Structure 1
């Protein structure tokens, strides 16, 4: 499974978002994982793939403070979300705040997972990339 593409999405103030069909088609069943990304965006995973990754994330030494910080950030915010019959799901409030999501969002494929960005933040990020290259 490879997540790819960029999809512009409108969503309601309640955090209801329509997951693009090309992304939904890569998720087995109607449940997926959403958690904080390492910036102001959200990371989404197929449930089965996430459960394999989670066991890998538990391997780092408990003695390394940076490893524990990452684990706390990822696991404390993690949510198992259900996609309804129309392809929509509701982003929990804590994740909405982390992603600083407003009225428009962008869902992007990143190979092994997908990300949900606020549209303006995604635009700013891609402009920075163009300046660097």
Structure 2
């Protein structure tokens, strides 16, 4: 495993929604987490590709919640809808199910973001429209999130 837990890649989608995971991304994951993944709705306009460990952590969290709470039930049902277990082939490719491709308008190009075992799959255009910012905007945002008040409000 490399020392990188974060990364950004632009990847092409092949026919029928098949995608090859970049070698650098795979090397960033533990060896036993490189072939089997879970696809689910993201928390935004993207698909989440979870490693087994990250998916189990998410499911442990979901299972700890009160299923009789209407908001919890609604969230669980939305999160679990269209969830899929995928396994990479010998060329490190897997197929994204058509309902997820359609829902997130994924066609030919995607952006992959790796964040500690959670991999976001974005429509290329949507990602760049949503996160493009000027250097001055990035500077302001950086100052905000490093402020003491912001950190107090956003602690786990």
Instruction: Tell me the secondary structure at the aligned position of residue 45 of structure 1.
Output: strand
Which consecutive aligned stretches of 4+ in structure 1 deviate over 3 angstroms post-superposition? 128-133
Alignment of 1:62-101 (within 5 A): 62-101=67-106
Does 2:106 match 1:106?
no
CA spacing shift, 1:65–1:128, aligned 2, 3 Å: farther
- Give the total of aligned pairs: 133
User: Relative to structure 2, which stretch is displaced further, 84-93 or 61-70?
Assistant: 61-70
1:36–1:98 Cα contact (<8 Å) kept: no
> 3-state DSSP class of the match of 1:55?
helix
Structure with higher helix content: 2
Deviation, 1:98, is 2.2
Partner Cα distance (1:95, 1:87) in 2: 20
Of residues 61, 64, 77, the one that matches 1:59 is: 64
Indicate the structure (1 or 2) with the bigger Cα radius of gyration: 2
How many angstroms does 1:49 deviate by? 3.0
Deviation at 1:29, TM superposition (A): 4.6
Distance in 2 of aligned mates of 1:124 and 1:68: 32
Q: Residues 58 and 8 from structure 1, CA distance in 2 versus in 1: closer, same or farther, beyond 3 angstroms? A: same
TM-score by length of 1: 0.87
The higher relative CO (CA closer than 8 Å, separation ≥ 6) is in 1
**8 A Cα contact 2:53 2:117, kept in partner:** no
1:42 equivalent in alignment to 2:44: no
Q: C-alpha separation between the residues in 1 aligned to 2:117 and 2:87?
A: 20
Give the superposed CA RMSD: 2.2
Structure 1: tracts of 5 or more residues without a match: none
For structure 2, the 5+ residue unaligned runs are: 142-156
